[in-house]
Amino acid sequence: MFCYNCGCHLSEHDFCTSCGADVSLYKKIMCMSNRFYNDGLEKAGVRDLTGAINSLRQSLKFNKNNIEARNLLGLVYFETGEVVAALSEWVISKNMRPEKNIADDYINMLQSNATRLDAINQTIKKYNQALVYCNQDSKDLAIIQLKKVLSLNPKFIRAHQLLALLYMDSEQWDRAERELHKCMDIDRNNTLTLRYLKEVETQLTPDENSKQTGRRKKDDAVRYQSDNEIIIQPLNVKEQKSAGISSLINIAIGLVIGLAVMYFLVVPAAVSNANNEAQKTITDIGNQLDTKTSRIQELETQMEALQTENDTLNQELQGYVGADGTLQTIDSLLAAATTYLETQDITQTAANLETISASVNVDDTSEAFQKLYKTLLGLIGPQLSAQYYETGYNAYRSEDYATAIENLSKAVIYDETNKDAWLSLGNSYRKSDDAQNAITTYDKIIELFPETETARSAQRYRSQLAENTAQ
């Protein structure tokens, strides 16, 4: 551990033996950062990725320069499918330690493989499209999109969770359980996954009270008592009767009665049953035709929807791979970061950032993109603002107010706290007879730097302009 004041190696004492600075609190902060880093490392080793992310974030809160914690956080993000967040952490790590940093290998791994980079962008786009389908209650299309996402990035936990939720909504509990178990294989302690899994297991638990009752065996004989004897007569055994004329007569009478019953009862019933069967067949055929017609219409509607989706995706693909597409914008930002890291050329880096801001609205980009953009802007802003101020102030003194306004405007854009640049910009507007912009600039100075000499000067100039305008 090294002293924050002089950089000397610290001993076991609570003060620096080189410069005498009190380092007791500094040591505690560094130890807490390392403790959270070790905790995150242990949790990542047992695939408790959610816990690892929380611990590593705490580590970076105590020490933002903990390069090992930041690189490990990027790896954990990458393992959960959050590639953009991982890339952001590695770029910041590279900024902090340009030399001998393993983050170089991680960044090169992504940049050198154009196919993987394209798959990452497709994953993000398709996941966002699935969310749109969910909001539009098009759950089948959302499921299709999520399956495409998982085919490109099988470790994307949020996609697995959303797919499981859609399966739960359609009561496909087995499929939901499979998706949640895939999440558990990636991250064993994700709170949202555990909550969904508990609900699925509740639905899949069988009813323990439903039991089949045994069947009672049937007696295979009839028992009855005659006087003092018990007689057992087997079932399905008929006693033989003696043959005779009476039997023939009974048979003849039975035939006559049977024919009569058949004629008056059986035949009409058979005809009625045949008619009913025919009618039922006709009804079934009609229902089948209606079902097939409905299915054809449904398929035609689905085909139109898929065609519309295909056209939309083709347009979106052009937005990604075109000259002003998302991929080109990300490449431009990464190129600007690489240029700054390699050459420290703030002028070229500023030109690259201005090109990016001119081609895309930074506020509409992803959080990681904005974070990297603002980090680069913060690194070059003060120096670039000083350069633009010097050029603009020289032009102001030479009464070249157009050049002064152009350079001073850039100076306050890159460093909003540059009081001298603000005041010189307002004076340039005033000298060039642009009273409206001059008053606006003076008002901005009064708002940003109250109770300062610069604000009092701005108030004095503003009052003079207001009086001249009123006259």
> Position of tokens 């076991």?
12
pLDDT at 211: 42
pLDDT higher than 50, residue 216: no
Fold of 24-112: 1.25.40
CB 412 within 8 A of CB 428: no
Q: For residue 95, is pLDDT > 50?
A: yes
Q: Tell me what pLDDT residue 469 has.
A: 73
Predicted TM-score (pTM) of this structure:
0.39
Q: What is the CATH number of domain 117-204?
A: 1.25.40.10
What's the mean pLDDT when you consider all of the chain? 79
Confidence grade of residue 422 (pLDDT, cut at 50, 70, 90): very high
Instruction: Give the N- to C-terminal CA distance of the chain in Å, as an integer.
Output: 68
Residues in the chain: 471
Whether 24-112 and 117-204 share one fold: the answer is yes
Mean pLDDT of 387-393: 89
With a pLDDT cut of 90, the percent of the chain lying above it is 4
User: pLDDT: is 266 or 432 the higher one?
Assistant: 432
- Decide which of 323 and 435 is more confident: 435
Residue 383 phi, psi (nearest 5): -65, -45
Name residue 400's amino acid.
D
Mean pLDDT of 327-347: 74
Report the alpha-carbon distance of residue 68 to residue 56 in Å, rounded.
Answer: 10
From residue 424, give the alpha-carbon distance in Å to each of 388, 389, 457: 12, 9, 11
Distance CA 201, CA 218 (A): 42
Q: Is residue 242 pLDDT above 60, yes or no? A: no
* pLDDT given at position 287: 80
Nearest one of 90, 59, 52 to 74, comparing CA atoms = 90
Confidence of residue 231 (pLDDT cuts 50, 70, 90): low
Q: pLDDT tens digits, residue range 8-65?
A: 656 566 666 666 666 667 778 888 888 888 988 888 888 888 888 888 888 888 888 8
pLDDT for position 212: 40
Task: Give the Cα separation of 334 and 112 in Å (integer).
Answer: 12
101-141 residue pLDDT tens: 888 888 888 888 777 777 778 888 888 888 898 888 888 89
CATH superfamily of domain region 326-470: Tetratricopeptide repeat domain (1.25.40.10)
- Separation of alpha carbons 421 and 396, rounded Å: 11
Angle (CA) 19-20-23 rounded to 5° is: 110
Above pLDDT 70, what percent of the chain?
81
pLDDT at 394: 92
**Tokens at residue 378, please?**
């913060």
DSSP conformation letters of 155-178: T-HHHHHHHHHHHHHTT-HHHHHH
pLDDT of 245-275, one tens digit each? 877 888 888 888 877 777 777 667 777 778 8
Domain ranges in the chain? 24-112, 117-204, 326-470
Region of 81 please: left (phi>0), alpha (psi -120 to 50) or beta. Answer: left
Would you state the pLDDT for residue 171?
87
Output phi, psi for 2, to 5 deg.
Answer: -115, 150
DSSP of 178-239: HHHHHHHHH-TT-HHHHHHHHHHHHHH---TT--PPPPPPPPSEEEEEETTEEEEEETT-PP
Pairwise CA distance, residues 247 & 243, whole Å: 6
At 225 the pLDDT is 47
Q: Which amino acid is at 100?
A: K
Query: CA of 181: how far to CAs of 123, 191, 246, in Å?
Result: 21, 13, 81
State the sign of the Cα–Cα–Cα–Cα dihedral 420, 421, 424, 425. negative
Distance CA 313, CA 294 (A): 28
Mean pLDDT for 226-234 is: 51
Q: How would residue 208 be classed by pLDDT, with cut points 50, 70 and 90?
A: very low
Task: Please name which of 425, 418, 419 lies closest in space to residue 395, comparing C-alpha atoms.
Answer: 425
- For 281-325, what is each residue's pLDDT tens digit? 888 887 888 788 878 888 888 888 888 888 787 676 565 444 445
